[in-house]
Structure 1
Amino acid sequence: MQNLVNSFKSAALSLGEHLTPVLKESKFKDTGVLTPAEFVAAGDFLVHHCPTWSWAKASDAAGTRDYLPADKQYLLTKRVPCHRRCKDMAYDSNLEKLLDGDDDDAEGWIDTHHNAVEQAEEVVVDADDLFPGSKQAAATDSDDDDDGEAVMDMDAIMSGGGTTSNLLVSKAPETTGTTSKDNILKTRTYDLHITYDKYYQVPRLWLLGYDENQKYLTVEQMNEDFSEDHANKTITIESHPHISNVSMASIHPCRHAEVMKRLIEQVDGKEGRNEITVEKYLLIFLKFVQAVIPTIEYDYTRSIEL
């Protein structure tokens, strides 16, 4: 029933997007939304400082939006590692934090691992070594405990410094060298896309998963990697706006503006910090969507100063 509701909602919003005028006035500080030009500026900043991300064109003319540059229709990063199933992570209500809404608001945006203590050993890696040419880097988490995934605390994210030449990543888990199938690390990977949603006027994250044999994950398998509070609720399966005949899992953007406004206010409220510029919007966006996909290790922006 929920999928039927989501499909109907998707069709209605698709129509609404065609009828919605293009936002031209900057409102990201007041309401958390972006203009298409601001989305491109934030995307350029992300691509420049985190080379795992790149711009992509639409697959055909039908998928091209004229309010975005033809060669900058959406952002993508490929084969992002996911070593653990979210469903296997130990749940602890003490780790939760409501990122948006009142304490009594059951519909607020919940970060299910906000207060988790960082367990992974962090290693400083030079960006030139991490991204040589077309070589793809993958950073993995060495913590095999069931006490909660190593998801960065939002306050730590907001207060963290560093330079753009170094990235903090987690050390890859060590393998035993045994031939036993039970001890072989089986890694799922995901392609992640960020599009601009004209109706909600915010970025939108899309996911396509692969198993260790590079076969597409089923919807049920992907749900194992999504926070239980968000799977089948916040995440829906919909047609990609820029790629013909492709459906992907997507984090629905209906609450994005509210959450982003709240988080931008938190960053701006930090003593001694410069005011957040729109170029850094996607850095904050990638932090908050990790509440939905805490085991997908896509965030290599940790030490980029906000």
Structure 2
Amino acid sequence: MNSVQTIFFGIREYLSPVLKNSKFKETGCITPEEFIAAGDFLVYKCPTWNWESGEPSKRRDYLAAEKQFLITRNVPCLRRVKQMEYIDEDAETQIETEDGEEAWVATHSGRAATNIEEIAQPIEGDEDEVNKRISKIVLEDINDKEDVDIPDMDDIPDIEEVEDEVVEEDDPAALGNGTSLDDGPSDKILQVRTYDVFITYDKYYQTPRMWLFGYDEHRRPLTSTQIFEDVSQDYAKKTVTIETHPHLNMSLASIHPCRHAQVMKKIIEKMNEESVKKFELLQQQSANAPQLEQAQVRVDQYLIIFLKFMSSVVPTIDYDHTISA
């Protein structure tokens, strides 16, 4: 099944044209050049991320040879999703997308975080208040890294299910060595998993795509079943599937990008709408107010926002500190 999918996805990507003109504000899609620009900004602001060239035979000619994909290694994952403590207000919030379909948003939005105090506070109020809290956290993290006033946004939809079934533990992604993973130390000892997190450019969907490869506390590769323990259950085996990495000879867990563009378009629209309101207010208060363009979302900030969105899918993988410290 996995090999058939790999062949199909490979043909589909090969036949897809390369996006030439910038459309990140209009559609949420980005060109390969914009992906590299956003990757350079991420690497500059967050040195834990690095560019990689991958296997020479798998390099895409529309990307620079030395900038085929991004990776951050040994990201800690201290607990499983089912071990997270939730409050009543942490329940998922449903909204309708533009096509009338329901989508999940703001999953586990009240969970504790090591570097964002506000996310640990109880969230009270209706759906708008929940979304505003999530928006505030996203924007404050971006502003911490850039001397640009980025406005609030209040509506983050989610990615939908894909129809592909997931290959289970016998998948190559498991890389099992035949040994039991239950022969470790006592449960009283903290079992720390780590992940290598990859970001590639998906030519077909014209958006970034996240990939995960996990290790247990003994540095043994995790099985696909174990990886799904670290994925929000609204996404496990649905939007998170096992597929072949486009630049490496291995299969990894991947967050399917079928709705990434729509999500990013909504985020950018909301942020830019608020920037207009903020600009008009500043213009009334001071003649030396900054130009409107300075408050607009820039394409090189794309991956910073993208990673915040992805944290709702993998809430226990603590890569978020790399962009908000």
Does the pair score TM above 0.5? yes
Residue number among 27, 30, 36 corresponding to 2:23 in the alignment: 27
Equivalent positions of 1:1-306 (< 5 A) are: 4=1, 10-60=6-56, 62-90=57-85, 94-95=89-90, 96-98=92-94, 101=97, 105-106=101-102, 108-114=103-109, 116=110, 118=112, 120=114, 153-160=134-141, 161-163=143-145, 181-244=186-249, 246-271=250-275, 272=278, 274-300=295-321, 302-303=323-324
SS in 1 for 2:241: strand
Matches of 2:3 and 2:236 in 1, distance apart? 15
Matches of 1:31 and 1:20 in 2, distance apart? 17
- Aligned-pair identity in percent equals 48
- In 2, are the aligned partners of 1:100 and 1:262 still within 8 Å (CA)? no
Please state how far the C-alpha of 1:264 moved relative to its aligned partner.
1.2
Q: TM-score, normalised by structure 1?
A: 0.75
Please state how far the C-alpha of 1:258 moved relative to its aligned partner.
0.5
Matches of 2:189 and 2:53 in 1, distance apart? 37
Q: TM-score, normalised by structure 2?
A: 0.71
Higher radius of gyration, 1 or 2: 2
Q: Between Structure 1 and Structure 2, which shows a larger proportion of helix residues?
A: 2
- In 2, are the aligned partners of 1:99 and 1:259 still within 8 Å (CA)? no
Matches of 1:47 and 1:119 in 2, distance apart? 22
Q: How many residues align?
A: 256
What RMSD, in angstroms, separates the aligned Cα atoms of the two structures? 2.8
Matches of 1:79 and 1:10 in 2, distance apart? 27
Any stretches of 5+ residues in structure 2 without a counterpart? 121-132, 148-184, 280-294
Q: 1:200 to 1:122 in 2, by over 3 A?
A: closer
Any stretches of 5+ residues in structure 1 without a counterpart? 124-142, 144-151, 166-179
1:199-226 per-residue CA deviation (whole Å, 9 max, x = no partner) reads 0000000000000000000011111000
- In 2, are the aligned partners of 1:100 and 1:110 still within 8 Å (CA)? no
Matches of 1:213 and 1:303 in 2, distance apart? 29
1:159-199 per-residue CA deviation (whole Å, 9 max, x = no partner) reads 4532469xxxxxxxxxxxxxx94432220000000000000
Matches of 1:33 and 1:215 in 2, distance apart? 36
Matches of 1:26 and 1:109 in 2, distance apart? 28
Please state how far the C-alpha of 1:12 moved relative to its aligned partner.
2.7
1:34-61 per-residue CA deviation (whole Å, 9 max, x = no partner) reads 100000000000000000000001222x
